[in-house]
Structure 1
Amino acid sequence: MKSRSNRAHEILIVEDSRTQAEKLKYLLGQDGYNVTVATNGQEALELARKRKPTLIISDIVMPRMDGYTLCQEIRSQPNLKDVPVILLTSLASPQDIIKGLQCGADSFIRKPYDERYLLSRINYILTNQELRKKEKVQIGIEIYLAGQKHFITSERQQILDLLISTYEEAFLLNKELKARQQMLDHSYRWLNGLYAIAGSLNSSTSKQEIADKVLEQILLLPGVQAGWMSFLEEGSVSRIISVIGPPEMVCKQGALHDDCSCLNKLLSSQLRQATNIPECELLKEARTGSGGPHQHACIPLLAGGRALGMLNLVGPQQGLFSVEDLKILNGIGSQIGVAVERAQLYEKLEEEVEKRTSALTAEIAQRKRIEEVLRDSEERYRLLFEANPHPMWVYDTDTLAFLAVNGAAIRHYGYSREEFLAMTIKDIRPAEDIPLLMDNVSKVSAGLDKAGIWRHRKKDGAIIFVEIISHNLIFGGKRAELVLANDITERRQVEEALRRAHEELELRVRERTAQLEVANEELEAFSYSVSHDLRAPLRGIDGFSQALLEDYADKLDEDGKDYLHRVRAASQRMALLIDDLLDLSRITRSQMHREIVDLSAIARTIAAELSKTQPERQVEFCIAEGIVANADARLLRIVLENLLGNAWKFTQKQPQAKIEFGAVEQGDKPVYFVRDNGAGFDMAYSDKLFGAFQRLHTTAEFPGSGIGLATVQRVIHRHGGQVWAEGAVGQGATFYFTL
Structure 2
Amino acid sequence: MLKTRRRQAKKRADTRVPGRPRVLHVEDSPTQAEATSAALEDGGYDVTLARSGDKAVYVLGERTFDIVISDIVMPGKVDGYELCRRVKAGPHGDTPVVLLTSLSDPMDIIRGLEAGADNFLTKPCAPDHLLDRLQVILATKRSRARGRVRAGIAVYFLGRQFTITSEREQILDLLVSTFEDAVRQNHELREREERLARSQQSLAALYQIAVGLNACNTEAEVAAAAVAHAVEIPGVRAGWLVLREGETGFRIAATRNVPPALQEPGALDGDCLCRQRLLAGDLDQVTNMMECERLTTARGDTRGLRYHASVPLWIGERTVGILNLVGSERGLVSEEDRALLYGVGNQIATALERTRLRQQLETLVEQRTAALRAEITERTRAEETLREREKQLSSIYETAADILFQLAVEPGGTYRFTSVNRAFFSVTGLGLDQIVGKRVDEIIPQPSLALVLARYGEAIREKRIVRWEETSVYPTGELTGEVSIAPVFDAAGRCTHLVGAVHDVTERNRAETALRESEERYRSLVNEVNDGFFVTDEHERFTYANRALALIHGLTNPAELIGRTFLEFVAPSARAAVEAEFRAGVGSGAKPKIVTATIVRPDGGEGVVEVKPVTVYQDERV
The TM-score normalised by the length of structure 2 is: 0.53
- Pairing 1:251–2:262 present: yes
Equivalent residue, structure 2, for 1:319: 330
Cα deviation for residue 340 of structure 1 reads 2.1
Structure 2: gaps (5+ residues): 1-15, 398-404, 417-435, 443-488, 498-622
C-alpha contact 1:57 1:87 (8 A) present in aligned 2: yes
Equivalent residue, structure 2, for 1:95: 107
Aligned partner of 2:187 among 175, 199, 207: 175
From the superposition, tell whether residues 95 and 391 of structure 1 become closer, same or farther in structure 2 (CA, over 3 Å): farther
Secondary structure (helix, strand or coil) at the match of 1:138 reads coil
Of 152-161 and 263-272, deviating more is 263-272
Equivalent residue, structure 2, for 1:226: 238
From the superposition, tell whether residues 153 and 206 of structure 1 become closer, same or farther in structure 2 (CA, over 3 Å): same
| The structure with more helix, counted as a fraction of residues | 1
From the superposition, tell whether residues 332 and 128 of structure 1 become closer, same or farther in structure 2 (CA, over 3 Å): closer
Aligned partner of 1:143 among 150, 156, 168: 156
Structure 1: gaps (5+ residues): 393-405, 413-470, 474-481, 485-739
Secondary structure (helix, strand or coil) at the match of 1:312 reads strand
- Pairing 1:390–2:401 present: no
CA distance in 1, matches of 2:126, 2:42: 15
Deviations 1:450-478 (A, max 9, x none): xxxxxxxxxxxxxxxxxxxxx999xxxxx
C-alpha contact 1:7 1:32 (8 A) present in aligned 2: no
Equivalent residue, structure 2, for 1:14: 26
Deviations 1:659-686 (A, max 9, x none): xxxxxxxxxxxxxxxxxxxxxxxxxxxx
Aligned partner of 2:205 among 169, 173, 193: 193
Cα deviation for residue 391 of structure 1 reads 8.5
AA in 2 matched with 1:256:
A
AA in 2 matched with 1:72:
R
Aligned partner of 1:69 among 53, 73, 82: 82
C-alpha contact 1:106 1:159 (8 A) present in aligned 2: yes
AA in 2 matched with 1:390:
T
Equivalent residue, structure 2, for 1:361: 373
Deviations 1:605-664 (A, max 9, x none): xxxxxxxxxxxxxxxxxxxxxxxxxxxxxxxxxxxxxxxxxxxxxxxxxxxxxxxxxxxx
From the superposition, tell whether residues 83 and 333 of structure 1 become closer, same or farther in structure 2 (CA, over 3 Å): closer
Alignment of 1:257-272 (within 5 A): 257-261=268-272, 265=276, 269=280, 272=283
From the superposition, tell whether residues 11 and 350 of structure 1 become closer, same or farther in structure 2 (CA, over 3 Å): closer
Secondary structure (helix, strand or coil) at the match of 2:414 reads coil
Cα deviation for residue 366 of structure 1 reads 6.4
AA in 1 matched with 2:107:
Q
C-alpha contact 2:307 2:332 (8 A) present in aligned 1: no
C-alpha contact 1:228 1:242 (8 A) present in aligned 2: yes
Secondary structure (helix, strand or coil) at the match of 1:345 reads helix
C-alpha contact 1:7 1:34 (8 A) present in aligned 2: no
From the superposition, tell whether residues 246 and 265 of structure 1 become closer, same or farther in structure 2 (CA, over 3 Å): closer
Alignment of 1:119-130 (within 5 A): 119-129=131-141
Cα deviation for residue 107 of structure 1 reads 1.6
From the superposition, tell whether residues 82 and 229 of structure 1 become closer, same or farther in structure 2 (CA, over 3 Å): closer
Cα deviation for residue 137 of structure 1 reads 4.7
Deviations 1:26-84 (A, max 9, x none): 55556665554433222322343454545332222222122122233445x46355543
Equivalent residue, structure 2, for 1:58: 70
Secondary structure (helix, strand or coil) at the match of 1:142 reads strand
C-alpha contact 2:25 2:37 (8 A) present in aligned 1: yes
Deviations 1:272-327 (A, max 9, x none): 44555545454345433785534434445444555544433322x23253473555
Alignment of 1:304-453 (within 5 A): 304-306=316-318, 308-315=320-327, 317-322=328-333, 324=335, 325=337, 328-364=340-376, 384-385=407-408, 390=414
From the superposition, tell whether residues 343 and 171 of structure 1 become closer, same or farther in structure 2 (CA, over 3 Å): same
Deviations 1:183-238 (A, max 9, x none): 22222222111111122222222222222222221211122111223444555554
CA distance in 2, matches of 1:205, 1:97: 63
C-alpha contact 1:276 1:296 (8 A) present in aligned 2: yes
User: After TM superposition, where is structure 1 displaced by more than 6 Å over at least 4 residues in a row?
Assistant: 366-374, 386-389
Equivalent residue, structure 1, for 2:594: none
Cα deviation for residue 350 of structure 1 reads 0.7
Equivalent residue, structure 2, for 1:439: none
From the superposition, tell whether residues 141 and 223 of structure 1 become closer, same or farther in structure 2 (CA, over 3 Å): same
Cα deviation for residue 160 of structure 1 reads 2.3
- Pairing 1:288–2:300 present: yes
Equivalent residue, structure 1, for 2:580: none
AA in 2 matched with 1:143:
Y
Secondary structure (helix, strand or coil) at the match of 1:7 reads coil
C-alpha contact 2:67 2:97 (8 A) present in aligned 1: yes
- Pairing 1:40–2:52 present: yes
Q: In the comparison of the two structures, how many residue pairs are matched?
A: 397
AA in 1 matched with 2:72:
I
Secondary structure (helix, strand or coil) at the match of 2:153 reads strand
Secondary structure (helix, strand or coil) at the match of 2:28 reads coil
CA distance in 1, matches of 2:22, 2:410: 125
- Kindly, what percent of the aligned residue pairs are identical? 37
From the superposition, tell whether residues 327 and 321 of structure 1 become closer, same or farther in structure 2 (CA, over 3 Å): farther
RMSD of Structure 2 on Structure 1 (CA): 4.6
Equivalent residue, structure 2, for 1:162: 174
Cα deviation for residue 270 of structure 1 reads 5.9
Equivalent residue, structure 1, for 2:220: 208
Secondary structure (helix, strand or coil) at the match of 2:195 reads helix
CA distance in 2, matches of 1:292, 1:32: 45
CA distance in 1, matches of 2:217, 2:100: 60
Cα deviation for residue 353 of structure 1 reads 1.0
The TM-score normalised by the length of structure 1 is: 0.45
C-alpha contact 2:53 2:76 (8 A) present in aligned 1: yes
